[in-house]
Structure 1
Amino acid sequence: MLLLVPLLVVAGLYLGQDRLILQPDFRLPSWQAMAEPAELQPWLEQGRYLGKVLEASGPARGTAVLFHGNAGHVDHRLPLAKQLAGRGLRVVLVEYPGFGRREGSAGINPILEAAQADFMLALRRWPGPVFVVGESLGAGVAAQVIRSHPDQVAGALLVTPWSSLAALAREKAGHLPVDWLLHQRLDSAEALTGYGGRLVILGAGRDGVIPVEHARALARALPHAAYLEVAEANHNTWLAHIVPAQWDSLFGALLGER
Structure 2
Amino acid sequence: MLLAAALFGLLGYAALSALMYLRQRDLVYYPQFTRVAAETTDFELRSGEVVLRGWRVNPGRSDALLYFGGNAERVEAWRGPFAQWFGDRTVYLVGYRGYGASEGQPGEQAILADALTLYDEVRRRHPDGDIAVVGRSLGSGVAAYLASQRPVERLALVTPFDGLAEVGQAHYPWLPVRLLASERYPSADYLRGYRGRLLLLRAGRDEVVPARNTDRLLAALPVPPQVVEFPQHGHNDLSEDPRYGEALAGFMR
TM-score by length of 1: 0.83
2-side partners of 1:8 and 1:26: how far apart? 29
Q: Which residue of 2 aligns with 1:201?
A: 200
Runs of 4+ in 1 over 6 A off after TM superposition: none
Counterparts in 2 of 1:24 and 1:193: CA distance versus 1, 3 Å: same
Alignment of structure 1 residues 100-249 onto 2, 5 Å = 100-127=100-127, 128-149=129-150, 152-222=151-221, 223-243=223-243, 247-248=245-246
2-side partners of 1:189 and 1:22: how far apart? 21
1-side partners of 2:251 and 2:45: how far apart? 32
Instruction: Work out whether residues 163 and 187 of structure 1, in 8 Å CA contact, stay in contact via their aligned partners in 2.
Output: yes
Deviation at 1:217, TM superposition (A): 3.5
- 1:10 paired with 2:17, answer yes
Instruction: Work out whether residues 38 and 101 of structure 2, in 8 Å CA contact, stay in contact via their aligned partners in 1.
Output: yes
Counterparts in 2 of 1:192 and 1:79: CA distance versus 1, 3 Å: farther
Instruction: Work out whether residues 29 and 106 of structure 2, in 8 Å CA contact, stay in contact via their aligned partners in 1.
Output: yes
Deviation at 1:214, TM superposition (A): 3.2
Tell me the secondary structure at the aligned position of residue 198 of structure 2.
strand
2-side partners of 1:213 and 1:183: how far apart? 22
1-side partners of 2:179 and 2:166: how far apart? 13
2-side partners of 1:236 and 1:27: how far apart? 16
Counterparts in 2 of 1:78 and 1:214: CA distance versus 1, 3 Å: farther
Q: Deviations over 1:140-191 (max 9, x none)?
A: 1110111112xx2111000111121122111111210011101143221221
2-side partners of 1:176 and 1:77: how far apart? 37
Provide the alpha-carbon RMSD of the alignment.
Answer: 2.4
2-side partners of 1:104 and 1:117: how far apart? 15
Q: Deviations over 1:110-152 (max 9, x none)?
A: 2222122212221222230001110000001110111112xx2
TM-score by length of 2: 0.84
Gap runs ≥5 in structure 2:
1-6
Q: Which has the larger radius of gyration?
A: 2
Q: Which residue of 2 aligns with 1:23?
A: 30
**Which of the numbers 36, 47, 50 marks the counterpart of 2:53?**
50
Q: Which residue of 2 aligns with 1:85?
A: 86
Amino acid at match of 2:201: L
Percent identity of paired positions between Structure 1 and Structure 2:
32
